[in-house]
A and B are shown apart, each in its own frame.
Chain A
Amino acid sequence: MTMSIQLQFDEKRRKAITQCSRCGFCRAVCPIFDLTKRPITNAHGKIILLKEVMEGKLPATEEVAKAMLRCTACMNCTVNCPSGVDPQEIVKAARRDMVDIGFDNLFKAMGEVVEKYGNIYGKEKRRDWGHRKERAPYLLFLGCVGAYREEESVKETLRLLDILKVEYTMVDEVCCSGVLEDVGYKIKEDLARRNIQEIQKTGANTLITTCPYCYRVFKDHPSYKDLGLEVKHITQFLKDFDFHVKTDKKVTYHDPCDLGRHAGIYDEPRQIILKIAPNFVEPRRTRDNAMCCGAGGGFRGAFAKESVKIARNRLSQIIEDTGAEILLTECPSCLHNFRNAKRQKQKIEIYNLTEFLAKLYGERTLGEKEAA
């Protein structure tokens, strides 16, 4: 299907697109290109498509719209681009444009689900996580992926906060809905308002998120500008705590794209890990060059199989580089994708950092009981 309407490119967009020097350096880091070896899936390929659309050489087709969905918004190309291009910004803008001129994508349905059920999975019922206080200084926000897909991990995170005697409460949260903006649609203002209201009712002064994506939305999105709370990712919140547990196991860490490249939070998780795991090794691709797990930017939603394959590649890479027994991260999406990807014969255990901490505390109490 070819639409007669053409995309409009303002000066800023034109400049961003023509800034690409076609050096191809993004091939080295794009997780989707790494998997497919097809140039159209690379940052470079997507930008060239848009350049041709912009120059009127190529019609804006369904296939162009589809190509734009092949991006995890991981920003690994951005930090490696010699020409200073931020391809995922260009791609996200193009997704919105394609929707505007009539190429709706599968996330339209997700938007409707989110609107109706308040979560991305269309679940009617939410598990009762307890921890309801009228008032508390801290508020913990789980986000959809943790609450509906990694429940065991979330349970441990809550237990850790209890062990550390953090005075926190939880609310009837709904999806922050920020991700809709990345896939061509608009944030749901009424959901944002609901969250703000619920959160403010608690009188908390700090909002703690486990999900790095929620963190970014609460912190930066204009729809949450009236939130009036300090927003912290849980690794920022926990970095100065003393932990009275340790592990001798070989531990490594995967930087979630949303936490690392998008939010600049690299040191805090490491500060925590170094307190509890002296045998810590970095993967070769780490910090701002950490390879994406394949889950972000709507990619898992649109291309589930490929997404898991990327996680598999990243996991094998980490195992090969480090030989670690424990892989830590702090993102429900990364955790979920890695756990789905892990093959049975792979011995590595995968946890969110907070979950792992709770487990260490658990083992310690167990040890103490046995000793007594």
Chain B
Amino acid sequence: MIKKLIEIVGQDNFTDQLEELVPYSYDASMNVHRPDAAVWPETAEQILAIVKFANEYKIPVIPRGAGTSLSGGVVPIRGGVIIDLSKMNRILEVSIENRYARVEAGVVCDDLNRELAKHGFVFPPDPASSTVSTIGGNVATNAGGIKGAKYGTTRDYVLGLQVVLPTGELMRTGSYTMKCVSGYDLAKLFVGAEGTLGVITEVTLKINPLPRHAMTAVATYARLEDAGKAIFQTMTSGVIPSVMEIMDKVTLQSIRENTDIALPDAEAMILTEADGFTWEEVEAQMEVVLGILKNNHPIEVKTARDEKDRLNLWKARKSAYATLARVSNSFVLDDVTVPISRIPELLVGIQGISQKYGIVVATFGHAGDGNLHPQILYDEYDPDQVERTEKVEEEIFKLAISLKGTLSGEHGIGLSKAGYMTLEHDPVEMDLMRRVKKALDPNNIMNPGKRALDD
């Protein structure tokens, strides 16, 4: 195996040295397993040769971007070869006239947006990890950004893909056009597939003009339900704010106690933003939003006076994950998502579960699209806490499903949520998913062991 892989990618782009494989045993979740080797291919042809070989000898291969997955999706649970796409990071084409960008899968999300900004354009769904996450990883997890409510997720921007199939063929699918109904939409099959169906080597993305103006507002509430109502009423008001974020009491408290950001002692805080191409457009939208925020018994509602003030408000939201990560050595960050009107119930329910098990859960997230991030804080070296954390997670999943929601809005199933797939999907659907997997990957070599597809 070693000889063959070196032959394909060259000595410098191969390793099977234990120490180098250690970092490849992890992602940002709590899952761990060693791979047997790792390669850094530089072309789609090299990947093709690797996969052909792997398929012949039934060796697992795991496509990997930046490894920021929060689901264990990129952890090589059955060993095998990590295909690290970091060296395939060229922006191949930016076509402003045709509104698309074509990039290799290893391009970092922010690098693409820096290039697009030069032309006044943007690839909108940027996850909080966009300084490092790769476009391939974003596509494979259907990543969402903070502006999901208005601008959608990665899926809405994928026009076409180049993929190495598990059976060892290179395929181009999709189009360079804004619309396309030519055959099955195979490109979208690979979006959110978490690398279980093939290695994405190239992506053609729709791009948007950058909005020129934005206004930010913040509102605090003494009751979670009021905040929930304000969100849901805003989203049904005819105005779609570009951002609608919520932070709960625990999150606010943690930020207040661990940074110098002054935050009120409230049950919930909403951070919202309207954007547009003229000031008039932005102001008109904001007027509606502010009206609703004020109507739901807030403690305080205020808008950012200037850019500095705006950035300051954003700092609070951006420090949520960070400060929470500082207060405990381990955490699970989930991404349950519910229909928007059920947000208040989800928020209150999570609080109840947290209290029941005596485990701290801080909740924040993209409330505007129904996606919350309960961050469960615990100590991985305390078995009792680990056990209670698992129970908390399970109950949160059950709650979300009971509210007609989903296990994962943007992080994917991977390993962490594989056990809960049948909560959400009935046997018919599970069976079809497994048949799709089998049809594309008969030898089960492509990121095996994930999403309960092969057990």
Contact among B19, B22, B129, B326 for A84, CB-based, below 8 A = B326
Q: Which of A16-24, A123-131, A133-141, A217-225 contacts B (4 or more CB under 8 A)?
A: A16-24
A28 at the interface (CB under 8 A from B): yes
Across the interface, name the chain A residue whose C-beta is closest to B24.
A39
Contact residues, A64-96 vs B (CB, 8 A)? 64, 67, 80, 82-84
B223 at the interface (CB under 8 A from A): no
Closest Cβ of chain A: how far from B126's Cβ, in Å?
13
- Tell me whether chain B's interface is mostly helix, strand or loop, or mixed: mixed
A300 at the interface (CB under 8 A from B): no
A261 to B68, CA, bound (A): 26
B388 at the interface (CB under 8 A from A): no
Given known A-B contacts A18-B329, A82-B322, A23 and B68 have beta carbons under 8 A apart: yes
A40 to B18, CA, bound (A): 11
A49 to B326, CA, bound (A): 20
B325-343 near A? 1/0 per residue, CB < 8 Å: 1100111000000000000
User: Cβ of A19 and Cβ of B329 under 8 Å apart?
Assistant: yes
A42 to B86, CA, bound (A): 13
User: Cβ of A42 and Cβ of B23 under 8 Å apart?
Assistant: yes
Which chain A residues lie closer than 8 Å to B19 at the CB level?
Answer: 40, 49, 58, 61, 63-64, 67
User: Cβ of B40 and Cβ of A23 under 8 Å apart?
Assistant: no
Contact residues, A40-68 vs B (CB, 8 A)? 40, 42, 44-45, 48-49, 52, 58, 61, 63-64, 67
Closest Cβ of chain A: how far from B76's Cβ, in Å?
13
B84 at the interface (CB under 8 A from A): yes
Which chain A residues lie closer than 8 Å to B67 at the CB level?
Answer: 24, 39
A37 at the interface (CB under 8 A from B): yes
Which chain B residues lie closer than 8 Å to A23 at the CB level?
Answer: 28, 68, 129, 325
A38 to B24, CA, bound (A): 10
User: Cβ of B20 and Cβ of A37 under 8 Å apart?
Assistant: no
A186 at the interface (CB under 8 A from B): no
B236 at the interface (CB under 8 A from A): no
B17 at the interface (CB under 8 A from A): yes
A1-35 near B? 1/0 per residue, CB < 8 Å: 00000000000000100110111110110000000
A39 to B28, CA, bound (A): 13
A28 to B113, CA, bound (A): 14
B232 at the interface (CB under 8 A from A): no
A22 to B22, CA, bound (A): 13
- Tell me whether chain A's interface is mostly helix, strand or loop, or mixed: helix
Which chain A residues lie closer than 8 Å to B86 at the CB level?
Answer: 37
Across the interface, name the chain B residue whose C-beta is closest to A45.
B23
User: Cβ of B22 and Cβ of A27 under 8 Å apart?
Assistant: no
User: Cβ of B131 and Cβ of A83 under 8 Å apart?
Assistant: no
Closest Cβ of chain A: how far from B38's Cβ, in Å?
9
Given known A-B contacts A21-B331, A22-B28, A82-B321, A40 and B20 have beta carbons under 8 A apart: yes
Contact among A21, A28, A52 for B28, CB-based, below 8 A = A21
B150 at the interface (CB under 8 A from A): no
Across the interface, name the chain A residue whose C-beta is closest to B64.
A39
B221 at the interface (CB under 8 A from A): no
Across the interface, name the chain B residue whose C-beta is closest to A80.
B131
Closest Cβ of chain A: how far from B222's Cβ, in Å?
29
Contact residues, A252-293 vs B (CB, 8 A)? none
B190 at the interface (CB under 8 A from A): no
Which chain A residues lie closer than 8 Å to B350 at the CB level?
Answer: none
Given known A-B contacts A39-B24, A40-B20, A48-B23, A24 and B84 have beta carbons under 8 A apart: no
A15 to B379, CA, bound (A): 11
A38 to B87, CA, bound (A): 10
Given known A-B contacts A24-B132, A25-B131, A67-B19, A19 and B28 have beta carbons under 8 A apart: no
A52 to B329, CA, bound (A): 15
User: Cβ of A58 and Cβ of B325 under 8 Å apart?
Assistant: no
User: Cβ of B18 and Cβ of A27 under 8 Å apart?
Assistant: no
Which chain A residues lie closer than 8 Å to B378 at the CB level?
Answer: none
A259 to B284, CA, bound (A): 48
Given known A-B contacts A15-B329, A48-B23, A67-B19, A25 and B84 have beta carbons under 8 A apart: no
B124-151 near A? 1/0 per residue, CB < 8 Å: 0000010110000000000000000000
A45 to B26, CA, bound (A): 10
Closest Cβ of chain A: how far from B72's Cβ, in Å?
12
User: Cβ of B23 and Cβ of A63 under 8 Å apart?
Assistant: no
Closest Cβ of chain B: how far from A19's Cβ, in Å?
6
Which chain B residues lie closer than 8 Å to A83 at the CB level?
Answer: 322, 325-326
Closest Cβ of chain B: how far from A28's Cβ, in Å?
4
User: Cβ of A82 and Cβ of B26 under 8 Å apart?
Assistant: no
B211-242 near A? 1/0 per residue, CB < 8 Å: 00000000000000000000000000000000
Which chain B residues lie closer than 8 Å to A24 at the CB level?
Answer: 28, 66-68, 129, 132
Which chain B residues lie closer than 8 Å to A22 at the CB level?
Answer: 26-28
A15 to B28, CA, bound (A): 18
Closest Cβ of chain A: how far from B14's Cβ, in Å?
11
Closest Cβ of chain B: how far from A244's Cβ, in Å?
36
User: Cβ of A52 and Cβ of B22 under 8 Å apart?
Assistant: yes
Contact residues, B48-92 vs A (CB, 8 A)? 66-68, 84, 86-87
Closest Cβ of chain B: how far from A162's Cβ, in Å?
44
User: Cβ of B325 and Cβ of A21 under 8 Å apart?
Assistant: yes
A23 to B324, CA, bound (A): 13
Contact residues, B3-61 vs A (CB, 8 A)? 15, 17-20, 22-24, 26-28, 40
Which chain A residues lie closer than 8 Å to B87 at the CB level?
Answer: 37
B360 at the interface (CB under 8 A from A): no
B108 at the interface (CB under 8 A from A): yes
Given known A-B contacts A39-B23, A82-B322, A63 and B129 have beta carbons under 8 A apart: no
Contact among B23, B131, B322, B325 for A28, CB-based, below 8 A = B131
Which chain A residues lie closer than 8 Å to B331 at the CB level?
Answer: 21
A63 to B15, CA, bound (A): 13
A61 to B18, CA, bound (A): 10
A61 to B26, CA, bound (A): 20
B96-132 near A? 1/0 per residue, CB < 8 Å: 0000000000001010000000000000000001011
Which chain B residues lie closer than 8 Å to A15 at the CB level?
Answer: 329
Given known A-B contacts A23-B325, A83-B322, A63 and B18 have beta carbons under 8 A apart: yes
Contact residues, B284-329 vs A (CB, 8 A)? 321-322, 325-326, 329
Closest Cβ of chain A: how far from B138's Cβ, in Å?
14
Which chain A residues lie closer than 8 Å to B325 at the CB level?
Answer: 21, 23, 82-84
Contact residues, B164-188 vs A (CB, 8 A)? none
Closest Cβ of chain B: how far from A218's Cβ, in Å?
31
Which chain B residues lie closer than 8 Å to A49 at the CB level?
Answer: 19, 22-23
Which chain B residues lie closer than 8 Å to A38 at the CB level?
Answer: 15, 20, 40
Other A-B contacts than A19-B326, A38-B20, A48-B22, 8 sampled, CB-CB below 8 A, are A23-B68, A24-B66, A24-B132, A28-B110, A40-B23, A52-B22, A83-B325, A84-B326
Could you tell me which B residues sit within 8 Å of A by CB distance? 15, 17-20, 22-24, 26-28, 40, 66-68, 84, 86-87, 108, 110, 129, 131-132, 321-322, 325-326, 329-331, 380-381
Q: List 10 A-B contacts (CB under 8 A).
A: A19-B329, A21-B325, A25-B129, A37-B40, A40-B20, A49-B23, A58-B18, A61-B18, A82-B321, A84-B322
Top 5 A-B pairs, shortest CB-CB distance: A82-B322, A39-B23, A45-B23, A37-B86, A28-B131
